[in-house]
Amino acid sequence: MCKLPVVMLVIMQTNNIIPANGSVVMYVDMNSFFASCEQQEHTELRGKPIGVITHPSAHACVIAPSVEAKKWGIKTGMRLPDCKLLCPQMIPVVARPYIYRMYHVKIMEVLKQYCEEVVAKSIDEAVMNMTSYKLVYQDFKALALQIKADLAIACGDFVKCSIGISANSFLAKLATEIQKPDGLIEITPDNIDDYLKKMKLTDLPGIAKANERRLKMIGINDPYAMRHASEALLRKAFGGVVGNYWYRRLNFYDKIDLHSSDYKAMSAARMVSRVQRENRQALESLLISLCTRLEQRMVKQNAFCREVHFYIRFIDLPGWETKVRLNDATQDAFEIRKYIIQQMETFEKQHRFVLFNNKVQHMGVTVASFIHGDRIQYGLFDNKIKQDEARKIMYQIKDKYGRDIVRKAVETIYPHEMRDAIGFGSVKDFVPSNHQREMNQYLLQDDGPSPVPKHVLELRERKKKALEALNHKQAS
């Protein structure tokens, strides 16, 4: 009887932190996800080193090397020429974001069959809080094997994952890093030190070079020493409460937080191909494409932004960026573009430098400071109410009949360059929220160029032959 008040006191003091053996968390990390999806879709790519790239270019960036490519030393972020030096036979594959999103949906459907508390941390990672299922599942390693088998049925044998099990999300995530591909590791108080002794500080998720230097300055040279350091010493190393977090993570104390909050910001960015950077119209169309992508996402979330941030990165030149604070919240793509263009024109006049030039390498737009549509206050004399309603209806039509049924004129300009991009980060658009009643189906449609109708191809061929005959006649 005397233990009950003590236990209650500990829970209150530690802000719902659950001690070791009190919780069970399972972390699912898909292996080489984009590349694995492509290998599953195309039998000729299976077992071969491939690299998923953002756009068809000889100098494109690899965003996802396959397991076979990684064995040759190819890493995410490498350029194709560097990859070819390491692995001449590597096959570049242009990304198809809608395919990876479709697989993500399948994966989440499988995981939710076993647990209600499942949250996607990114498009290829998810965490499952199994604490309330301890009496349902007696052996969580056996359960993990069953989940792997079900994922193979739902997605295919080439879409594999590593699963980590532990008392908190961090250690479960760390377990997935220990054994790849197709790993299954459980970290417990009995075996954690054995694993940590074999690691470097930068092997811990969240510890980069800067934090590594901080820790080594106070004598913590590896994860094992970090785990056994005092909480006060870690506070000193990290300069505050972050040190407390690290102490608790490594010692099986951590608050289990599966809450998925609303967006604080939305971003759309693209690497610019050589074809695009040589044509100002293509660059301007790309900017509108980025704004349109954000417009679509805001419409789905019934959100309006009051802040716009835009940046450009150049080859061999300093980058440029601007931030605009809006008096009236908006979700309209062309209004967002208008504010960006105004800032660009002001800069160009002052510095006599054209921003859309043949050195552009990367550009991105971010919208933030959201307000929900129900709280928008319209002016007495403006007509934005009708515009906003028309925009919603347009996307409802696109959702029902396909994205091509209604399109902005700019979406027909350079369609092969206006490819969708895939983010590794937030997947909130897949999750119904207070503002979004259903998943954003628009993300599951092919955002690449539509196939040219057969009769159009035949007409082009006839025109080509007629022109060749005319040229031949004039030459003779």
Query: Is the alpha carbon torsion for 244, 249, 252, 253 positive or negative?
Result: positive
Give the span between the Cα atoms of 178 and 192, in whole angstroms: 11
Q: Are strands 91-94 and 50-53 parallel, antiparallel or unpaired?
A: parallel
For the chain, the straight-line distance linking the first and the last C-alpha, in angstroms and rounded, comes to 109
Catalytic residue of the set 38, 68, 125, 417: 125
Token pair 């108080």: residue? 189
Closest by CA to 25, choosing from 117, 151, 106, 149, is: 117
Q: From the DSSP assignment, how many helices (H) and strands (E) are in the chain?
A: 17, 12
Residue 293's Cβ-count burial label (10 Å; 0-12, 13-18, 19+) is buried
Can the peptide bond before residue 181 be classed as cis, meaning omega within 30 degrees of 0?
Answer: yes
Q: What are φ and ψ of residue 363, in 5° steps?
A: -145, 155
Give the span between the Cα atoms of 253 and 14, in whole angstroms: 9
Structure tokens at 191: 């075996």
3-state secondary structure of 449: coil
Give the span between the Cα atoms of 108 and 106, in whole angstroms: 6
Active site residue 177: no
Give the span between the Cα atoms of 75 and 343, in whole angstroms: 37
Q: How far is CA 198 from CA 24, 85, 195, 203, in A?
A: 24, 31, 6, 10
Residue 424's Cβ-count burial label (10 Å; 0-12, 13-18, 19+) is middle
In this structure, are residues 443 and 98 in contact, taking their beta carbons and an 8 Å threshold? yes
Closest by CA to 52, choosing from 42, 38, 41, is: 38
In this structure, are residues 367 and 263 in contact, taking their beta carbons and an 8 Å threshold? no
Give the span between the Cα atoms of 300 and 217, in whole angstroms: 48
Token pair 């890493």: residue? 75
- Spatial strand order of the sheet with 62-65 comes to 62-65, 50-53, 91-94
Closest by CA to 322, choosing from 300, 302, 337, is: 337
Name the residues annotated as catalytic.
125
